[in-house]
Amino acid sequence: MSAVSTEQPGQEAEPPEVPKELPPLDITRAETWPEMLTVEELASILRSSTKSVRDMIANGQIEAMRGAGRGFRISKRWVIAHILQDNP
pLDDT for 88 equals 52
Domain map (residue ranges) of the chain: 31-84
| 23 contacts: CB under 8 Å, gap ≥ 6 | none
* Residue 79 main-chain phi, psi, to 5 deg: -60, -45
Instruction: Provide the whole-model pTM.
Output: 0.67
Which CATH number is 31-84's, of 1.10.260, 1.10.1660, 1.10.10, 1.20.140? 1.10.1660
Our measurement of the distance from residue 78's CA atom to the centroid of its chain's CA atoms, rounded to an integer in Å, reads 14
SS3 53: helix
pLDDT averages per 10-residue partition of the chain, 88 residues: 57 62 73 91 92 96 88 93 71
